[in-house]
Structure 1
Amino acid sequence: MTTTRRMLLAAAGGLLATPRIAGAQGALTPVKFSLDWAFQGPQAPYLLALEKGYYRDEGLAVTIDRGFGAGDVPVKIASGAYEFGVGDISAVARLRLTQPGTDVICPFVLAQGSPLSAITLRRTGIRNPKELEGKRVAAPETDGGRQFFPAFARATGIDTAKINWITVTPQLREPMLARGDADAITGFETSGVFSLLALNVPRADIVVMRYSNFGVALLSTGLQVRKAYAEANPRIVTGMIRAIIRGHLDAARDPDGAIAALVRRDATAPVALEKERLAANFEFIRTPEVLSGGFGNLPMSRVQASIETIRTAFNISATLAAEDFYLPQFLPPAEQLRFPAAAG
């Protein structure tokens, strides 16, 4: 155990074991928290945790804002604009590899399964990844699917020079594919597929090429924070993790309650579709590893493999040790990391 970890554990001590009950504890600590995407089904558990007072239980006054893609979140954290963010941690690893002066870390991985995908429609005739060559692919520049397309391309033999990227806002991505203005899109499967369904595209017409099915070893959604902030505020980091887990467990048990919280934040959210999207997202959270060993059941070797996938895909010579990137010493006690069978 490193000296830093000993100091953190000693300082945190019993404070990490149980939620801090606010009220008699004094003023709440303000925290700005950026999500990874628009307010959709997968983002509902964070809003549910806010409504139920789970952040407040930890002594935190949390403000939640929407995000604009995986590449957008760590930049906000590194700049100090937000204390915390949540999103695909591959973007954090790439930032750390290419900008060694940054200290954004991941203390908690929520989704060990990756929904990064290339998505197309049957009418395009695209049936496999190589057939994306020469085609128009629409995505925001900060979209995780676009940012890590080189890893997908390397695994499948795609010549990236033959991809015709169309840079779009998040709101225009699926409509362009539905209208035929693009031949494919990239992004989280849970975002792309359900947004196409909302545009009345038949499910049978949607073709999904999930990166992980082609051997791309990447983790997915995790909490992001600057190392300096985390070391100075271990109680806050652990409290954020605990509140996020509580929100997700409640959402798994009561998806209707989670979607109700979402609708209260965005009255235009289509209830049935977002509930289905929320359920689909749990496929990437409720993995065999999490079911058997809880959210902390993530070996450093797997984290390192994800980092190496990024280094190889982008031909990055710099190195990054998993132990300097994923810091599980901020996790709550093991009993608070379990995913009970009753929760789904």
Structure 2
Amino acid sequence: MRRRHALALFGASTAALTAPSVHAQQLLDVKFTLDWAFQGPQAAFLLALDKGYFREAGLNVTMDRGFGSGDVPVKISSGAYDVGVGDINPTIRMRLERPEVDLFSPFLVYDATALAVMTLKRENINTPKDLEGKLIASPESDAGRQLFPAFARAAGIDASTIRWQSVTPQLREPMLAQGRANAITGFITSGIFSLRGIGIAEPDIVTMKFSDVGADFYATSMITTRRFARANPQAITGLIRGLVRAQYDSLADPAAAIANLRRREPLTNVELETARLRMSLEQLTFTPHVRRNGFGQVDTVRLQRSIDSVRAAFGISRPMAASDIYDPSFLPPASALKLA
């Protein structure tokens, strides 16, 4: 009897030890790339991962830092990643130029574009026209650089006069601060705060947003392939649900989101990254439109206008409908997209 009792206890113990691994085997592995380094705007995505929102949906997500929105569609289309987040416009350009690529977005995160040209007062660049003949430093994968022709077209400037210096993401802001470039392109949440982080006073920073000249693009979006989405529709819906929950969590408690970020990046400048996160939430994510209607209420006329602006900027004759790049059929119920 003692032997049977011991075997029973051993069996129960073994079951308790193996149950998590069996459960883990049932999770779907998803390789997820961010658009940039682990900074304030990326804190909400990391929060969704670390709070277990994806695991609740049956997903084992590995999330890596990114190197620019222009790099995201390249990596996903190559199969290096299943899903990612990045400015949607480089993906639009890729789809226009390579119709065989099956990338699309099932969820738009940012309702407003973060793209901008940034310079310093000492450069005497006060309007887009003043950029003509100047040197702009930027990574080749930067969405602002890739979409600069659309900015130039909207602003009425001659983009052919602009000289470009290709730099790594880490050198972009230092190049401007050191006077080795006249301006940079990028997200306002990256450029402005990174300049502040290396000692540039905020009043000395001049920012020209793409939206200020009429290039009012949709921005950071979830990107994947139709092949992956059709094979794993519940996974796409689960990812969206988790991302939405984490965006609302970050809005309610930015300090907690940054504290979670700091656990991954111990050298995080809490004050700077909190300000960066707040800007992304208040100016780009939770616009008045999203606050009224919740996520997922995309203006397809505006999206089509953005597609046509990209086409015109790059001289692409092939048309593309908004429905080819954005498919809301994977969204969770409306109740999960709006704060109660």
Query: TM-score, structure 2 length as denominator?
Result: 0.92
- Could you tell me which runs of 5 or more consecutive residues in structure 1 were left unpaired when the two chains were aligned: 1-21
Q: Distance in 1 between matches of 2:74 and 2:321?
A: 20
Q: Measure how far apart 1:302 and its partner are.
A: 1.8
What is residue 4 of structure 1 aligned with on the other side?
Answer: none
Unaligned runs of 5+ in 2: 1-20
Task: Give the distance between the partners of 1:173 and 1:188, measured in 2 at CA.
Answer: 12
Paired residue for 2:289?
289
Q: Which SS does the other structure have where 2:316 is aligned?
A: coil
Letter in 1 for 2:259: A
**Per the alignment, in what secondary structure is the counterpart of residue 26 of structure 2?**
coil
SS at match of 1:106: strand
1:166 is aligned to: 165
Asked whether the 8 Å contact 1:289–1:298 carries over to 2, the reply is: no
Contact 2:112 2:216 (C-alpha < 8 Å) held by counterparts = no
Point out the structure with max Rg over C-alpha: 2
The answer for the alignment partner of 2:89 in structure 1 is 90
2:309 counterpart residue number: 309
Decide whether the 8 Å contact of 1:32 with 1:63 is kept in 2.
yes
1:152 matches 2:151: yes
Residue in 1 aligned with 2:225? 226
- Letter matched to residue 300 of structure 1: T
Q: TM-score, normalised by structure 1?
A: 0.91
Aligned amino acid, residue 195 of structure 2: L
What is the count of residue pairs matched by the alignment?
Answer: 319
Which range moves more in the overlay, 319-328 or 101-110? 319-328
Q: Which residue number in structure 1 is paired with residue 116 of structure 2?
A: 117
Superposed structure 1 runs of 4+ greater than 3 Å apart: 22-26
Residue number in structure 2 paired with 1:10 = none
Name whichever of 197-206 and 300-309 sits farther off. Answer: 300-309
Residue 298 of structure 2 corresponds to 298
Distance 1:207 1:315 in 2: 30
Percent identical residues:
51
Q: Does 1:57 align with 2:49?
A: no
Matched, 1:261 2:260: yes
In the alignment, the residues of structure 2 paired with residue 39 and residue 273 of structure 1 have an alpha-carbon distance, to the nearest angstrom, of 13
Alignment of 1:319-334 (within 5 A): 319-334=319-334
Paired position in structure 2 for 1:8: none
> Offset of 1:299 from its aligned partner?
2.5
Q: C-alpha root-mean-square deviation of aligned residues, in Å?
A: 1.4
**What do the CA deviations read for 1:107-146 (whole angstroms, capped 9, x no partner)?**
0001010010000000111100010111110000010110
- Post-superposition offset of 1:24: 6.4
Match of 1:6 in 2: none
Q: Deviations over 1:129-186 (max 9, x none)?
A: 0101111100000101100000010011221111110100000000111111111000
Aligned equivalents of 2:46, 2:193: Cα separation in 1: 20
